[in-house]
Amino acid sequence: MGLTINDTFPNLMGDTQDSSEFNLYDYLGDSWGVIFMHPGDYTPVCTTELGEAASKKTQFDERSVKMCGFSCNSAESHRGWIEDIKAATGQDVEFPLFCDPEREKSVELGVLDETNKNAKGLPMTVRSVFILKPDKTVALMLTYPATCGRNFDEILRCVDSLQLTTRESVATPVNWNKGDDVIVNFPLTDADADEKFGKDNYRIVDLPSEKDQELTKHYLRYTKDPSGGAKKAGLFSRFRKK
């Protein structure tokens, strides 16, 4: 049985390309974390992904997010693969790549794919992403097939959404990016929203299902991004003022 959202991610303790005493919890400290699962070293799609992850390290650092790779290979294999990644992408992989050659952690995490096996007939790990909160619980999971490369702009977008919605009483709508308008969190009544945001600082969308009803809570309400204000003009103009 694999992990799901809000489960505690187990500590990864063992080898990386640089250490024989790696401890994931110590490494993350009070930071957020992103764990990337890889089917194996020297795989083409993952080579491009790790190069892209390395290129975005500064953007992850700015968000207080630490990255960690993971595959069922040895430290020696990781070190050789890192040289290939640098040659192919021009990027140095400086974050840890956890080693799980015996597949013990892969079994615990539930990330082995019995339909995708290596040359020795052993199942390979699925290409999952786990975004972890500072308390080491799983905030978000993404899983990709072997043929589809991950989108690291989307992973950063998800981090922005998760960090914002953890701090504020808002949710992020479809295709949201940092600075766009956000949705007033559904559990808040309109009175709660008045108190939280101010009566003139959020908008209620006119919806047929709510027409001519006296409601304590309208379900679709927009406000500015509390972390930096709306960057797209015109959103509020579509909605009636409360």
Q: What is the pLDDT of residue 83?
A: 98
The reply to whether 51 falls in a domain is yes
The reply to whether 156 falls in a domain is no
Statement to judge: residues 18 and 115 lie in one domain: yes
Instruction: Give the end of a domain, one of 122, 150, 178.
Output: 150
Considering the candidates 135, 148, 200, 212, report the single residue annotated as catalytic.
Answer: 135
Statement to judge: residues 20 and 134 lie in one domain: yes
Statement to judge: residues 143 and 182 lie in one domain: no
Statement to judge: residues 144 and 177 lie in one domain: no
HEC per residue, 74-139: CHHHHHHHHHHHHHHHCCCCCCCEEECCCCHHHHHHCCEEEEEECCCCCEEECEEEEEECCCCEEE
Statement to judge: residues 143 and 196 lie in one domain: no
d(CA 156, CA 177) in angstroms, rounded, equals 10
Average pLDDT over residues 102-106: 77
Per the structure, the count of domains in the chain is: 2
Average pLDDT over residues 43-66: 96
The reply to whether 76 falls in a domain is yes
Statement to judge: residues 105 and 196 lie in one domain: no
The reply to whether 3 falls in a domain is no
Q: What is the pLDDT of residue 45?
A: 92
d(CA 103, CA 81) in angstroms, rounded, equals 19
Residue-wise pLDDT for 189-212, tens only, equals 999 999 999 999 999 999 999 999
Statement to judge: residues 45 and 126 lie in one domain: yes
Statement to judge: residues 135 and 222 lie in one domain: no
Q: Is the pLDDT of residue 139 over 60?
A: yes
Is residue 148 annotated as part of the catalytic site, yes or no? no
Statement to judge: residues 34 and 88 lie in one domain: yes
Instruction: Give the end of a domain, one of 150, 176, 198.
Output: 150
Q: Which residues contact 10 (CB under 8 A, 6 or more apart)?
A: 105, 108, 109
The reply to whether 163 falls in a domain is no
Q: Is the pLDDT of residue 94 over 50?
A: yes
- The fraction of the chain above a pLDDT of 70, given in percent, is 87
Average pLDDT over residues 35-40: 87
H/E segment holding residue 202: strand 202-204
Average pLDDT over residues 61-65: 97
CATH number at residue 78: 3.40.30.10
The reply to whether 157 falls in a domain is no
Considering the candidates 15, 30, 41, 46, report the single residue annotated as catalytic.
Answer: 46
Its domain, for residue 90, covers 13-150
d(CA 114, CA 120) in angstroms, rounded, equals 13
Least confident of 50-64, 68-82, 94-108, 177-191: 94-108
Phi, psi dihedral angles at 90 (to 5 degrees): 80, 10
Residue-wise pLDDT for 49-60, tens only, equals 999 999 999 999
Q: What is the pLDDT of residue 242?
A: 40
The reply to whether 214 falls in a domain is yes
∠ Cα 122 68 121 (to 5°): 5
pLDDT band, residue 154 (cuts 50/70/90): very high
Least confident of 10-14, 158-162, 237-241: 237-241
**CA 24 centroid distance within chain:** 17
Is residue 46 annotated as part of the catalytic site, yes or no? yes
Per the DSSP assignment, residues forming a β-bridge with 143 are: 128
Higher pLDDT, 83 or 106: 83
Angle between helix axes 44-55 and 75-89 (nearest 10 degrees) is 70
Statement to judge: residues 136 and 203 lie in one domain: no
CA distances from 47 to 81, 101, 104 (A): 8, 19, 24
CATH number at residue 233: 3.30.1020.10
Per the DSSP assignment, residues forming a β-bridge with 112 are: 125
